[in-house]
Amino acid sequence: MVSRQTGVNYDPPVSEPRPSRFLPWSFLIVAAVVAASQAPLWTTTFHLDDWPHLFFADRLSPVDALSYGLLGVYFRPAGQLLWWVLFQVFGLSHVAFHLAVSLLCAATAWCLVLTMDRTGLPRTSSTVVTALVAATPVVVLTAAWISNLYT
């Protein structure tokens, strides 16, 4: 590429991928924050709003779970399919439900770290911001109140 001002041939520098030695540490930090903020919730039982989802997860096929509420106001196929899968795998074990949702929250937080890392933000900043987001009451509430998975 030739510069218009100087006429000198100029090739922009090629960015080298950053070494990933801090990524395992950031994963462990974010996972520890998620576990610390959600651990007290792992022994709570299902909430009142969870029982209708469990009722339909017990009686629907996977195709029915995807189309459940299709004509209603609240059509949420991904959330309903997640209810169906969790019920088929764990039954009525509320501890397993909460642990699975906590793992989903940790995976989502890890995706946020990777996204912020890809944008070029410092890894320490992306880890701290993600840890703060993972510990917010909205994220903790989602793990406690499983019906809140739709938000």
3-state secondary structure 83-147: HHHHHHHHCCCHHHHHHHHHHHHHHHHHHHHHHHHHCCCCHHHHHHHHHHHHCCHHHHHHHHCHH
Phi, psi of 2 (to 5 degrees): -105, 130
Query: How buried is residue 79: exposed, middle or buried, by Cβ count under 10 Å (0-12/13-18/19+)?
Result: buried
In percent, the amount of the chain with pLDDT more than 70 equals: 74
CB atoms within 10 A of CB 116: 18
In percent, the amount of the chain with pLDDT more than 90 equals: 7
Answer whether 0.75 is exceeded by the pTM. Answer: no
Looking at residue 138, what is its pLDDT? 79
Looking at residue 139, what is its pLDDT? 79
Radius of gyration over every alpha carbon of the chain, rounded to an integer in angstroms: 22
Looking at residue 94, what is its pLDDT? 87
Looking at residue 73, what is its pLDDT? 65
